[in-house]
Amino acid sequence: MTEPEKSNAQEYEEPVVLTEQEQEDLNDAEKLPAAVVYSGQDFDAEGLVRRLSRNDILIPTFGHDDDRIVSAGFQRAFVWTRSQMDRFIETLLLGYPIPGIFLVKQQDRRYLVLDGQQRLRTLQHFYEGVHDGKEFALRNVGERFKGLTYKTLPEEQRRQIDNSYFQATIVDTDGSEESLEAIYQIFERLNSGGTQLTPHEIRVALYAGPFIDFLERLNRTESWRNLYGRPSPRIRDQELILRIVAFLGDAGSYSRPLKSFLNRFIADHRELEGIDTEEIQRLFTTAADLIVEGPGRAALRPRGYQVNTALTEALFVGLMTRLRHSSPPSPSSLTEAVAAVDEDPQVIDATTGSTADEEKVRTRLARAIELLGEG
Weakest mean pLDDT among 71-80, 163-172, 264-273: 71-80
**pLDDT exceeds cutoff 70 at 21:** yes
Each residue of 39-89: pLDDT tens digit? 999 999 999 999 999 999 987 644 444 444 444 344 444 568 899 999 999
Strand locations in 46-100, DSSP E?
57-58
Q: What is the pLDDT of residue 282?
A: 98
Q: Say what percent of the chain tops pLDDT 70.
A: 86
Q: What is the pLDDT of residue 202?
A: 78
**pLDDT exceeds cutoff 60 at 147:** yes
Say if CB 75 and CB 117 are below 8 A apart.
yes
Residue type (1 letter), 373: G
Q: Give the Cα-Cα-Cα angle 185, 33, 73 (nearest 5 degrees).
A: 20
Each residue of 319-341: pLDDT tens digit? 999 999 999 999 999 999 999 99
State how far the Cα of 142 lies from the Cα of 119, in Å rounded to an integer: 19
Is residue 144 very low, low, confident or very high in pLDDT (cuts 50, 70, 90)?
very high
Nearest to 106 by CA among 183, 202, 190, 201: 183
Each residue of 343-355: pLDDT tens digit? 999 999 999 989 9
User: In a 3-state reduction of DSSP, which class is residue 102?
Assistant: strand
Q: What is the pLDDT of residue 194?
A: 54
Cβ atoms < 10 Å from Cβ of 165: 13
Q: Which of left, alpha, beta for 252 (phi over 0: left; psi -120 to 50: alpha)? A: alpha
Domain boundaries, the chain: 3-18+198-374, 38-186
Sheet holding 101-105, edge to edge: 38-44, 165-172, 101-105, 111-115, 57-58
pTM: 0.73
